A and B are shown apart, each in its own frame.
Chain A
Amino acid sequence: MSSTAPTFPAISTKPGVGLVWALRDTQAMMWRNLTMLRRVPQLLVFAIVQPLIFVFMFRYVFGGAINSVPGVPYVDYLMPGIFVQTVTFGAINTAVGLAEDKNKGLLERLKSLPMSRSAVLGGRVLADTARDIVIVVLMLTIGFLVGFHTHTSVLKVTGGVALMVLFGFAICWIFAVIGLSVSNGEAAQAAAFPLLAPLTFASNAFVPTKSMPHWLAYWADRQPLSITVRGVRALMLGTEPTSYVWGSIIWSLAITAVLAPIAVRRFRNS
Chain B
Amino acid sequence: MSDTAILADDLRKTFKDVVAVDHISLAVPRGSVLGLLGVNGAGKTTMVRMLTTVLKPTSGKGLVNGFDIMHQQQAVRRSIGLAGQYAAVDENLTGRENLVLVGRLNHQAKAVARTRAAELLDQFRLTDAADRPVRTYSGGMRRRLDLGAALVTHPPILFLDEPTTGLDPSSRLDLWGVIEGLVSDGTTVLLTTQYLEEADRLADNIVVIDGGLVVAEGTAKQLKSRLGDTVIEFEFHSPADAAHAAEVLGSVTSAGTIVRVVMSEGPETLRQALDRLAAAALVPGHVALREPTLDDVFLTLTGSNSGDPS
Interface residues of A, Cβ cutoff 8 Å to B: 1-2, 4-5, 7-9, 11-13, 15-17, 21, 24-25, 28-29, 32, 35-36, 39, 104-106, 108-115, 119, 269
Which residues of A have CB within 8 Å of B73? Answer: 12
**Does B90 reach chain A (CB closer than 8 Å)?**
yes
Nearest B residue to A27 via CB reads: B104
Complex-state Cα separation, A12 to B49, whole angstroms = 19
Determine the distance from Cα of A32 to Cα of B67 in the docked complex, in whole angstroms: 31
Decide: B66 and A109 in contact? CB cutoff 8 A.
Answer: no
Contact across chains for B84 and A109 when beta carbons are under 8 A apart: yes
B interface with A by C-beta (< 8 Å): 1-4, 7, 49, 52-54, 56, 63, 66-68, 71-75, 77-78, 80, 82, 84-93, 97, 101-102, 104-107, 133, 149
For B53, the closest partner residue in chain A by CB is A112
From known contacts A32-B90, A105-B86, A109-B84, infer whether A11 and B54 are also in contact, taking CB-CB under 8 Å: no
Interface class of chain A by DSSP? helix
Tell whether, in the assembled complex, residue A32 and residue B93 are in contact, meaning their CB atoms are under 8 Å apart: yes
A7, A15, A32 — most chain B CB neighbours (10 Å): A32
Q: Once bound together, how far apart are the Cα atoms of A28 and B93, in whole Å? A: 13
Q: List the B side residues contacting A25 at CB < 8 Å.
A: 105
Closest chain-B Cβ to A269's Cβ sits at a distance in Å of 8
Report whether A109 and B106 are in contact in the complex, using a CB–CB cutoff of 8 Å. no
| Nearest B-chain residue to A12, judged by Cβ | B75
| Complex alpha-carbon distance, A194 and B203, angstroms | 51
Which of A7, A8, A21, A39 contacts B107 (CB under 8 A)?
A: A21
CA distance A4 to B107 in the complex (A): 27
Q: Would A16 and B107 be within 8 Å (CB), given that A1-B3, A8-B72, A114-B78 are in contact?
A: yes
Whether A108 and B84, one on each chain, are in contact in the complex, defined by CB atoms closer than 8 angstroms, is yes
Could you say which of B53, B66, B78, B89 contacts A111, with CB atoms under 8 Å apart? B53
In Å, the complex CA distance between A25 and B105 comes to: 6
List residues of chain B with CB within 8 A of the CB of A11: 74-75, 78
Seed contacts A12-B74, A109-B82, A110-B105; 4 additional CB < 8 Å A-B pairs: A1-B3, A11-B74, A13-B74, A115-B107
Complex interface: chain B residues within 8 A of A8 (CB)? 71-72
Query: In whole Å, how far is A93's beta carbon from the nearest beta carbon of chain B?
Result: 13
In the bound assembly, the distance between CA atoms of A21 and B88 in angstroms comes to: 23
Q: Are B3 and A16 in contact (CB under 8 A)?
A: no
Q: Are A112 and B52 neighbours in the complex by a CB distance under 8 Å?
A: yes
Residue of A nearest to B45 (CB): A108
Q: Jot down 11 A-B pairs with beta carbons below 8 A, ordered by A.
A: A2-B2, A4-B2, A5-B2, A7-B71, A28-B105, A32-B93, A108-B88, A112-B53, A115-B106, A115-B107, A269-B56
Q: In the complex, what residue of chain A is closest to B152 when comparing beta carbons?
A: A113
